[in-house]
Amino acid sequence: MPIWHPFKIVTRGGTTEQIINEDDEKLVGLKEQLGYEVDKAVTTALLEINEYNAIMVMNYILLEYQLICLTLLDTIPFSLKCFT
């Protein structure tokens, strides 16, 4: 399952950071179809998700040779078990 990651890595003043890739075709299409306000809301949300949860909203775990997609809520009990 491909993961959409509309960011690019840039280096500014010796610091590496991720910024929104303004040339991403999905974001360009969104802006063309729904306008600037929707595009701004989506890019703001993407930046916040990337900043506060770098793993992204979905966690992918390889379990018994199958890729199982778990939501964040599904991973909480697993995470607690690992750290207790």
Q: CA dihedral in degrees (82, 47, 14, 25; nearest 10)?
A: 110
User: Kind and range of the H or E element at 59?
Assistant: strand 59-63
**pLDDT class of 69 with cuts at 50, 70, 90:** low
The string of pLDDT tens digits covering residues 25-47 is 999 999 999 999 999 999 998 88
> Residue 23's pLDDT is what?
94
Domain shared by 2 and 43, yes or no:
yes
User: What domain range includes position 13?
Assistant: 1-52
> Residue range 44-66: average pLDDT?
61
Contact at 8 Å (CB) between 69 and 58?
Answer: yes
Domain shared by 9 and 38, yes or no:
yes
Task: State phi, psi for 66 to the nearest 5 degrees.
Answer: -125, 145
Domain shared by 38 and 77, yes or no:
no
Domain shared by 44 and 63, yes or no:
no
Structural domains of the chain, count: 2
Domain shared by 47 and 64, yes or no:
no
